[in-house]
Amino acid sequence: MSAAQPTTFAIYRKAIEQVMQGEERLPSLPNMTFQIRRAASDPNTTISKLCSLIGTDPSLSVVIMRHSSSPVFRTLEQARDLESAVRLMGIAHVANIIMAHSLKSLFINNNPQLKALFAISWKRQALKASMSRFLASTIPGQSADEAFISSLLSEVGTLAILSSLSGVKEVPDQRTYLTLCRHYSKSLATIILRRWDLDSKYIEITKECGNWSAADSSSPAGAMSTLDVVNLSLYHSVCLLKPDHNLPALTGLACFQRLPERQQQLDERGLLNVISQNLKQIVAAAQAFH
């Protein structure tokens, strides 16, 4: 498909800007998603109590059981019910699975061309989020579940752009969509995350995602941060899905230089060994969200 003509591109911009200016047109998460996240963050919440909450929505129970049987969590003793599935995966990750499910459901569109763009975008986002979770699990002091949700939420704007274009007659091609993302995704994500009243740390990570020289101002100088994990995962997901990328060398990135020395070993492609050697596991985790 060819790039959009200037007139058509202006229509896309107008549709997105109208959504940004009208709060009532912004996507909203189900109230249940927020209830589960609040419960998961409460240290007094038991697995039994969380399961009772999840069980009020049968579709969420199905999602949790499906994830518990994925290769990532497959054990000798498979989860028999919702409670054993939550115990197997952990409360924090279960809350993140439900958030991911809600985000995916929120931006589904019936237009086949928009669905195709969504599938491409979601595949990269699921890979990036799963990679963030895995990478964080290998770095002392990093939270795997925090890295996962930070990575996923940093992409809310790219999904919301597709949602805002649902009423446009001519769907943009992939190149035009990426251009729109570069112009609007971060601003749109910031508006949405604020509307959802999520922690400001997610907004800061969203703003700096893809900024290879960025540093988390709340972290000690030279210390690895969640932002660094997200940026490293973004870098690797782009490299793996787009071989003709023009990204700078990994070793020149600030997020790489803050990695513990034992994590800095590279493969023949110049990517982190810890990711390339565990890519099968990372991809399996990502596919569970497709």
Q: Domain map of the chain by residue range? A: 6-25+110-287, 28-106
> For the residues 191-218, what does the mean pLDDT come to?
92
> For the residues 60-89, what does the mean pLDDT come to?
88
Helix (H, G, I), strand (E, B) or coil at 266: strand
Query: For all residues of the chain together, what is the average pLDDT?
Result: 91
pLDDT value of residue 67: 92
> For the residues 53-61, what does the mean pLDDT come to?
94
pLDDT value of residue 290: 84
pLDDT at 142 over 50: yes
Question: Which pLDDT band holds residue 92 (cuts at 50, 70, 90)?
Answer: very high
pLDDT at 1 over 50: no
pLDDT value of residue 72: 80
Backbone angles phi, psi at 272, to 5 degrees: -65, 130
Q: Are 82 and 75 in contact (CB under 8 A)?
A: no
Helices marked H in the chain: 6-21, 31-41, 47-54, 58-68, 82-89, 91-106, 112-137, 144-153, 156-164, 174-195, 200-208, 226-241, 254-257, 273-276, 279-287
From 53, 28, 59, select the one nearest 41 (Cα to Cα). 53
% of the chain with per-residue pLDDT over 90: 75
pTM: 0.92
C-alpha distances in Å from residue 229, one per residue of 81, 89, 223, 280: 33, 21, 11, 19
Question: Which pLDDT band holds residue 219 (cuts at 50, 70, 90)?
Answer: confident
pLDDT value of residue 7: 73
Q: Are 221 and 200 in contact (CB under 8 A)?
A: no
CA distance 36 to 60: 11
pLDDT value of residue 24: 61
> For the residues 109-135, what does the mean pLDDT come to?
93
**CATH tag, 6-25+110-287:** 1.10.3210.10
Amino acid identity at 108: I
> For the residues 248-253, what does the mean pLDDT come to?
96
